[in-house]
Amino acid sequence: MDRPAQRNAINRGIIEGLKLAWQRLEQDPALRVGILTGAGDKAFCAGMDLKEAAAMQLRIPPRDMFPVLGDSVRISKPTIAAVNGVALAGGWLFAQMCDLCVASEQATFGITEAKVGRGMPWAAPLIHMLPQRIAMEVLLTGKPISAQRAHALGYVNEVVQHAQLLDCAVALARVIAANAPLTVQAARELVYLSTEMGRSAALDAAHALFEPVYLSEDAQEGPRAFAEKRAPLWKGR
C-alpha cells in the first residue's frame, strides 16, 4: 500500500491495487505466498480515507467494497501481513485477514470505529483470534494495543526490529514456499474449516480435504527425496 503521506489510508487506488494483487497471487503458479505491507515508516494502514468517505457520503459500505481475503476475495495461497506502523480500523482488518502477521516493534493495532461512529462487521472472526474480553476491550474502547501485547495475546506471530521487518516476512514466506504446495494449501484450509465446524465435523472434512494430497505425486516425492538426501522437487500435483 503506497500512500505514505496519507498513512496508507484506504482509497479507491488502494482498493483497486489490492484487487489486482490478490488476483495475480491466485492466478500466477510461480507465486506461492503473498506479503502485504505499507509504504513508509509510520503506518501499515490507518484505515478508510475519511475525507474520501465524507465526500462520498458513504452510508453502509457494500460488502464487496474492500478486497477482504476470506470474504469478498477467495484465494488458496498463504498471505503474510508485515505491519510496519499503525494498523487502525481497516488497517487492522487488512492485518486480520492475512494468514500470518509479523510486526515492527513500533507497530500498533486498533479498531477505532467506535470513536467515529462507524461499524466493524468484519471483526466477527476476531473471536477466534483473541480472548473474548480482549476482543471486547479492543472493540468497545477503540484504544490501540502495542505489537508486543498483540504478540503476547497470539494475534501476531513475531515482533522484530523495524529495519528487519520485511526480511523477517520474506524469510517466513520462503520457508512456506519451500514446502509441498498441496499440503500447504490443504493445511491452510484445515485451519479455517475448523473454526466453522464442531470437532467431529471438522475431522470428517479434514480427512476428505487431505485425500487428494495423499494421492498426489508430491506425496511420493517427499519421502523419496528424504531417503535420497536431496531437496524435493514439488510439482503441485
Section 179-203 average pLDDT: 94
pLDDT of residue 52: 65
Look at 30-39, 62-71, 181-190, 195-204 and tell me which has the smallest mean pLDDT: 62-71
Section 3-12 average pLDDT: 92
pLDDT of residue 57: 63
Determine the residue type at 188. R
Look up the CATH architecture of domain 4-177.
Alpha-Beta Complex (3.90)
Q: What is the pLDDT of residues 101-124, one digit of tens each?
A: 999 999 999 999 999 888 899 999
Q: What is the pLDDT of residues 48-80, one digit of tens each?
A: 876 666 556 667 777 788 899 999 999 999 999
φ, ψ of residue 135 in degrees (nearest 5):
-60, -45
Domain 180-228 listed as CATH 1.20.120: no
pLDDT of residue 118: 85
Section 202-216 average pLDDT: 93
218 has a pLDDT exceeding 80: yes
Tell me the angle at which helices 217-227 and 181-196 cross, rounded to the nearest 10 degrees.
120
Q: How confident is the model at residue 191 (pLDDT cuts 50, 70, 90)?
A: very high
Q: What is the pLDDT of residues 120-178, one digit of tens each?
A: 999 999 999 999 999 999 999 999 999 999 999 999 999 999 999 999 999 999 999 99
What would the 3-class secondary structure string for the chain be? Answer: CCCHHHCCCECHHHHHHHHHHHHHHHHCCCCCCEEEECCCCCEEECCECHHHHHHHCCCCCCCCCCCCECCCECCCCCEEEEECCEEECHHHHHHHHCCEEEEECCCEEECCHHHHCCCCHHHHHHHHCCCHHHHHHHHHHCCCEEHHHHHHCCCCCEEECHHHHHHHHHHHHHHHHCCCHHHHHHHHHHHHHHHHCCHHHHHHHHHHHHHHHHCCHHHHHHHHHHHCCCCCCCCCC
Calpha distance 176→179 (Å, rounded): 5
Calpha distance 20→188 (Å, rounded): 22
Report the Cα 50 to chain-centroid distance in Å. 23
pLDDT of residue 55: 58
Domain residue spans in the chain? Answer: 4-177, 180-228
